[in-house]
Amino acid sequence: MTSNPVAAIRMLVIYSICIPLAALVGWMLTNQMDYGTLGFFGLIGALILSPVIIRYHYPILIFGLGAPVYCFFLKGNPPFWQVITVLSLGISVLDRTLNSDRKFISVPLMTWALIFAFGVTYMTAELTGGIGLKALGGPVSGGKKYLAIFIAIGTYFALTSRAIPKDKRKLYIAFYFLSGLPAFFGDLFPYMPAPFNYINLLIPASGSGAAGDAGETSLGTTRFAAFSATASTIASYMLVRYGMRGILTLSRPIRLLLFLIMFSLTMLGGFRVVLITYLSIFAMLFYLEGLHRTQMVMPVIFGLVIGCVLIFPFANQLPPTFQRSLSFIPGLNLDPEVVINAEGSKAWREGIWADTWPKVPQYLLLGKGYALSAEDFTMMGDGTFANGIAAKMDQSLVALAISGDYHNGPLSTLMPFGIWGAIAFLWVSLTALYILFRNYRYGDADLKTVNAFLLVVAFQKFFGFFFIFGAYSNDLGESAKLAGFSIALNWCICGPKKTARVVQRINRMGRSQTQPA
C-alpha cells in the first residue's frame, strides 16, 4: 500500500483545526450561554455553511426576504432578511469585481431615487445624534430603524444583481411568496413542549396568541396574528399562481374553497387593516384581469349579496377576532365589547395624530430623526408610561410616538426626516409604481398574474400609507423590494414590443412581395 504525502498533509491540517475546535466548543458548552458564546457558534456555523451560502446566496436571499426568522445568536436579534441581504449584496459586489461578465441590472430611475433616500437618511442621522445602537452599548438608541432603511435600500441592489432564469421563475416566485409559511410557530409558543419550544428563538412568539398559558387562549377569541400571517401567505400565493380568474373558475371548486378558507383565517388576528388590504387587492385584480367584462360579474355580485345578507344580521355571532376585523364596516351588529376595544384603539391613534400634527412645521427642514436620548429611553422603559401618566400627557409624547411609530405614514415621514423624507418617499414609491406598471403591461404572458399582483400590492401600500396605516422605515423598503423583484423577474423595465411593419411592394412583374421596414 503506497502512501500519499499530499493526502497525509491534508488530513493533518484538518485534524489540527478540528480537534482544538471541538475541544473549544465542548468547553464553551459547559459555560453559561451568552451572546459571546452564541456569536461564536454562529460564526462556526457560517464558516461551515460558507460554500453553500456563496453558491446559493441569491435564492436564499429571495426566500429570506419574507421569512419570519430572526438571528437570535447575533447582538440585537436582527431579522434574517437583513443578514442575508448584507451577505448576498457583498458576494454579488465581489463577484462583479472579479468577473466583468457579472453585471447588475441597471435602472437609473430607481438607482438615483434610492441614492437620494440614502443621503436623506444618513444626513438626518448625522445631524440629530448619530446612528446609535444601544444593543451594542451605545449611549443613543434608535439606530435599528436607520439600519433597516439602509439595508432595505441595499435589498433592491441585491435583487437586481442578476436576472432570474426563465426556467426557474416559478421556483423563485414560490420562494418569495411562500417564505412566510412558518410564521404560525409564533402562536404555538404556549403549546410547544421542550425541546421543540426552542424554535421560538428563530421565530419569536407573536405577542398575541402566545401571550399567556395554553389554558388562557381560545380559537376565535385570542388574536392569533401569526396564524393570520400564514393564512395570508397561502392566499397571496394562490392569487399570484392562479390569478382571480383561476381561483373563481367553477371548474376548480377545491381551489376556490381553499382560497375562501385561507381568506377567512386571515381574520384570526383581528386586524382591520388586513381585511381592508385584501378587499382592495381583490377589487383591483378583478379589474386588471378584465373580469368585470365577463360572465363572472353576476356570480360575484350574487355571492357578495348573499354574504352581506348573512353577515349583517348575524355578525355578533362570529368569533370576536372576526368581528374586530369587520368593525370598520358601518351598520354591523357587533358585540359591544368588540366595538369598545376597536374604538379605543382608534381613539388612541387619533389622540397621537391630533397632538403630533401641530409639531410637524418645526421639523420640515430638519427632521428629529430616530435617535433616542437616555431621558427618552428611560421615560419609555422605566415606568413613566406604565404608571398611567401617559393618559394625562400630550399624546405626541407617548412611548410609540417618541420612538417614531405614529401609526400614520405622513407623520412617520415628516417628523423624522422632514420635507426631504417626503420627497424621497414619493420619488421611490412613484418610480416603483412606474416600473411595476410597465412590467405588468408589457411583460411576458407567463408573468401576467405575478406582475399584476406586484402592481396592486404596491398601489395598495402607497394608498394605505396615506389613508390607512404606514411607516416610512418599512414602506420605503417595501417599494424598493417589490421593484427589485419585478426587475429581476422581467430582466428589465419592459416596454412595447417592437413589431416589424409589413410594407407591400409591387414589383415590376406585378407580384405582391412583403418585407420588413
For residue 329, report the phi and psi dihedrals to the nearest 5 degrees.
Answer: -85, 120
Place of cell 472579479: 98
Q: Report residue 339 as a C-alpha cell.
A: 366595538
- pLDDT at position 502 is 42
For the chain, 517 residues long, the average pLDDT of each consecutive 10-residue run is 60 66 61 60 71 90 94 84 94 88 90 96 88 61 84 96 94 95 87 78 72 52 86 95 91 91 90 90 92 87 86 85 86 84 80 84 89 57 43 49 71 92 96 96 93 95 89 91 96 77 46 44
Residue 65: is it exposed, middle or buried by C-beta count within 10 angstroms (0-12/13-18/19+)? buried
Question: What is the rounded end-to-end Cα distance, in angstroms, of the chain?
Answer: 76
Residue 98 CA to residue 41 CA, distance in Å, equals: 30
User: Bridge-partner residues for 141, per DSSP?
Assistant: 372
Going by C-alpha positions, the residue among 273, 263, 267 that lies closest to residue 238 is 263
pLDDT of residue 383: 42
pTM of the model: 0.84
User: Following CA atoms 365, 150, 115, 461 in sequence, which dihedral angle do they give, to the nearest 10 degrees?
Assistant: -80
Q: Which three cell numbers stand for residue 207?
A: 405577542
Q: Tell me what pLDDT residue 36 has.
A: 62
- For residue 372, the SS3 value is strand
Please check whether residue 369 is in contact with residue 421, taking contact to mean a CB–CB distance below 8 angstroms: no
Residues with Cβ within 8 Å of 425's Cβ and at least 6 positions away in sequence, in order, are: 117, 413, 465, 472, 475, 476
Q: How far apart are CA 296 and CA 280, in angstroms?
A: 18
Residues 141, 373: Cα–Cα separation, whole Å: 7
Find the helix or strand (DSSP H, E) in which 95 lies. helix 80-98
Confirm if 367 and 127 have CB atoms less than 8 A apart: no
Q: Using CA atoms, how far apart are residues 174 and 158, in angstroms rounded to an integer?
A: 18
Contacts with 362 (C-beta within 8 Å, 6 or more apart), sequence order: none
State the pLDDT at residue 470: 85
Spatial distance between the Cα atoms of 296 and 286, rounded to a whole number of angstroms:
10
Are residues 413 and 471 in contact, defined by beta-carbon separation less than 8 angstroms?
no
The 3-state DSSP class for residue 382 equals coil
